[in-house]
Chains A and B, each alone.
Chain A
Amino acid sequence: MSTLHTVNKSPFDRNSLDTCLSVTKADATVLMIEDGVAGAMQNTTASAGISDAMAKGVKFAVLGEDLRARGLPADRVMDGFSVVDYAGFVQLSADHDNVQSWL
């Protein structure tokens, strides 16, 4: 069973992303939305944990609309992330068996 994990809290403010990454399996995708998109940027204190999860096979995506709202340039998102729009969010939800929202 594959799981889509959505994270909507900044990793610098809450531990949602840390907990999420500690329980994601290799066939999972982590989608960052709302304030969670801050975690997708290069060279942050969250980057190392994300790279470790990527090495394990976890896929990562980030919602472009939320990046743009916050003035965070898509070209400075970490390598390995796909930037998706709302239609992509729906597609990811459909492509996984379940959705876990780390509120």
Chain B
Amino acid sequence: MSDTKKFVYINRKAPYGTVYALESLEVVLIGAAFEQEVQLVFVDDGVYQLTKGQDTDGIGMKNFSKTYSALGDYDVNQIYVDEQSLKDRGLTMDDLQELTYEDEDDDWAEKSSMKLVNREQLADLISDADVLLNF
């Protein structure tokens, strides 16, 4: 099929306080079945979705953070994290879980899915999208 579209998911909410983050993840996983090009952007409080070591036992909610590591298996391997959002929150990439995928064109080598982007690069991602989905 030649009519592949580029789907860009913009994630701007922290997990658990609202249901946006979980809903986005579910839509991404469902959408992955349709073999479109998928890019995930984490900006503003969305960067909190990817923090390492989330433990929700104390708040009685489902910890869905481990599901992000399955994205690579669904060919969702273009994950963009906004640098300024991390900085404003006293965070670095070291505070986030490392998301990887296996590159079928390179003998299934394990590669990082994550890229740190600035606002100029983010502007390009948005303007190059065929479909924008916001959570």
* Structural contact, A38 and B48, CB atoms closer than 8 A: yes
The reply on A65 being an interface residue by CB < 8 A is: yes
The reply on A100 being an interface residue by CB < 8 A is: no
Set of chain B residues within 8 Å of A90, measured between Cβ atoms: none
The reply on A15 being an interface residue by CB < 8 A is: no
Nearest B residue to A36, CB-CB: B17
Interface string of A11-55 (1 = CB under 8 A from B): 011000000000000000000001100100111110100000000
Least Cβ–Cβ distance between B98 and chain A, in angstroms? 13
Task: Tally A residues with Cβ within 8 Å of B.
Answer: 26
- A71 to B53 Cα, complex, angstroms: 5
**From A13, A68, A85, contact of B14 by CB (8 A):** A13
- A81 to B57 Cα, complex, angstroms: 23
Nearest B residue to A42, CB-CB: B90
| Interface 9-mer from B58-66, B72-80, B105-113 | B58-66
* Structural contact, B13 and A68, CB atoms closer than 8 A: no
* Structural contact, B13 and A13, CB atoms closer than 8 A: yes
* Structural contact, B90 and A69, CB atoms closer than 8 A: no
* Structural contact, B52 and A71, CB atoms closer than 8 A: yes
Set of chain B residues within 8 Å of A70, measured between Cβ atoms: 14-16, 48, 51, 54
Interface residues of B in 1-42 (CB under 8 A from A): 12-18
Least Cβ–Cβ distance between B45 and chain A, in angstroms? 5
* Structural contact, A13 and B48, CB atoms closer than 8 A: no
Interface string of B68-92 (1 = CB under 8 A from A): 0000000000000000000011110
**From B45, B58, B90, contact of A13 by CB (8 A):** B45
* Structural contact, B90 and A35, CB atoms closer than 8 A: no
Given contacts A13-B12, A44-B90, A69-B59, 8 further A-B contacts (CB under 8 A): A34-B16, A45-B88, A47-B90, A64-B58, A66-B59, A68-B57, A68-B58, A72-B51
* A-B pairs with beta carbons under 8 Å apart, 8 shown: A13-B12, A13-B14, A34-B17, A38-B48, A69-B15, A70-B15, A76-B90, A85-B58
When A and B form their complex, which 5 residue pairs have the shortest distance between CB atoms, in order from nearest? A65-B58, A71-B51, A35-B17, A43-B90, A71-B54
